Structure 1
């Protein structure tokens, strides 16, 4: 009887241990069946929400959207949780992503063998550590009721007819894209900063504001304080949606911008890779672009109908090296403040 009792006790103990182990494993699996995605506010979250729900239906992985005020704010949040990240996927700009990839403790490389749709992205839209979710050119947006002759080239903005009619992005907006457009307007090297700053100095009589806020610039165009705005096409759509006549053109060099996704080392890298690959797949990427009025990056995706006559021709596109921009932007800011603003 004693041996039976001891055997029974050992069996119960083993069963209890196994039960605890299975419960722990179940809890771990349950925890793994979700992703926290750090992304900007309402506009972006509204675009991603339904798509995330479709991803959940397909994979069983729930997606929680977490708000960041800006890419810089998002990076600060991630660095603060470095020892135990609670974010799995991060949306940011290509420029901030390029500065961040050296942080190997926080960010994981993309497992390309598990992400077949990365092969459908053009050169420059994906690197070892990030993949673009959409792109957008630096464009010229103008009120057709305030501009009598069509604008077809960057050089048009230097014409005297635009004296005190332009709103241009400050150097910190869009990482110096205006400087690159100015430098490359006649076929020159967009990274020829000496040429670019000389062109911006010559442009000053035509500029009402070098803006630091998209909302400020849109309001100026909507109220007729300026007739021309240099900004992404999405800004033109917002003004047009208010009932005002605008046209958007993206002449050569059409300096491109990418918003991208990165994988955080949270222990859920495989699920994060699956989510990113889902978002860059052709039909999903097409839907994201449509909702945000951005340019799809998957080469198999159709571009939003509203954008088709606003996007640059492929031969006019210029994709800058973000690492080079990051090396130079501080000096560009200093020169811009000294030579152009003051």
Structure 2
């Protein structure tokens, strides 16, 4: 979820890896599309492993055209531009499903679960979430969580949670995600507020807290925050689980802390655009990825939290013992989720800009 995590400010255009190649045949263009052995996937780069894509193509004869985006906002802009007609399956974040569900012209179509028998494999703990209460439009794919990673050889303080990051002893030693909602959310958490706060007064308090934190921050990095920990440029940081796992592989002495205030989770989901040209192929693709063995292969590669109960029997002991990617379900019970903050987005952007310029 990194992939991806500079959500609000990034406007990088998507790189298209695959394109639909229409074959000539009689009948309407919509019939031609529905008969094609093609499924057009749109998600973050490398989020569905190449080995899984190849196996699906081998088993079904359906070609996967894989296009990627850098941010959820970029995905939404592309989906709006095409009026939901170019892609068959999109994997995007929970809050973006919420944003799209609020729109007058919904660009997602209800997913027929009866055509996806492996839907039964999804752990019920991850269903019926705030962004799509009955999973009408979305099906969970994977889960990311933010955690603290630190070097105990350099950090002598007992790190328990987000609030500890303000300690003066950590001056010029921290790496944070270059993500306004993540960092401002930390300040709101320290104050005991929701990470989705919209009250201007409370956001102003968060801005003041960030001023106190700024001298502790040495590096901002959305994609590879673990690198500075491995090379010793920083001693402590906040990052997503897959990045934390990479950090420990680079330096086994590093320690992981699940923040006592609760972890920020992001649940990524399958959606099917309203005018998907190959709806049936989309259902087959989603069902394939929810197979237990396939799901385990995916999360072994991506190192995000697996939401598929049928995958556990395939998991290696190494995976099950990896604190970065196999997070106890009890942590999800006190999870913090990003939600759409509407017009308050401009306040978040302003706070972030000031914080970065300090």
CA deviations 1:182-209 (Å, max 9, x no partner) are 345xxx7555673972783475165224
**Would the alpha carbon gap of residues 143 and 323 (structure 1) be closer, same or farther in structure 2, given more than 3 Å must change?**
closer
- Which residue number corresponds to residue 38 of structure 2? 34
Change (3 A) 1:213 1:333: same
TM-score, L = length of structure 2: 0.72
Note if contact 1:141-1:246 (Cα within 8 Å) is conserved in structure 2: yes
> Which structure 2 residues correspond to residues 247-326 of structure 1 after superposition, within 5 A?
247-252=255-260, 253-264=262-273, 265-302=275-312, 305-306=318-319, 308-310=322-324, 311-317=326-332, 318-320=334-336, 322-325=338-341
Q: Does 1:117 align with 2:80?
A: no
Q: What is the CA deviation profile of residues 156-176 of structure 1, one whole-angstrom value per residue up to 9, with x for unaligned ones?
A: 333333233222235525485
Q: TM-score, normalised by structure 1?
A: 0.75
Match 1:44 to one of 42, 47, 54: 47
The answer on whether the counterparts of 2:184 and 2:352 sit within 8 Å (CA) in structure 1 is: no
Unmatched 5+ residue regions in structure 2? 1-23
User: Quick one: distance in 1 between partners of 2:161 and 2:337?
Assistant: 23
Q: Write the distance in 2 (CA, Å) between the matches of 1:134 and 1:162.
A: 33
SS in 2 for 1:301: helix
Structure 1 position 134, deviation (Å)? 0.8
RMSD of aligned C-alpha atoms?
3.6
Matched, 1:98 2:98: yes
Q: Partners in 2 of 1:169 and 1:227 — Cα distance?
A: 14
Per the alignment, do residues 153 and 175 of structure 1 end up closer, same or farther by CA in structure 2, a change over 3 Å counting? closer
In structure 1, the residue matched to 2:87 is: 87
Answer with 1 or 2: which has the greater Rg: 1
SS at match of 2:144: strand
1:334 is the counterpart of 2:350? yes
1:319 positional shift: 4.0
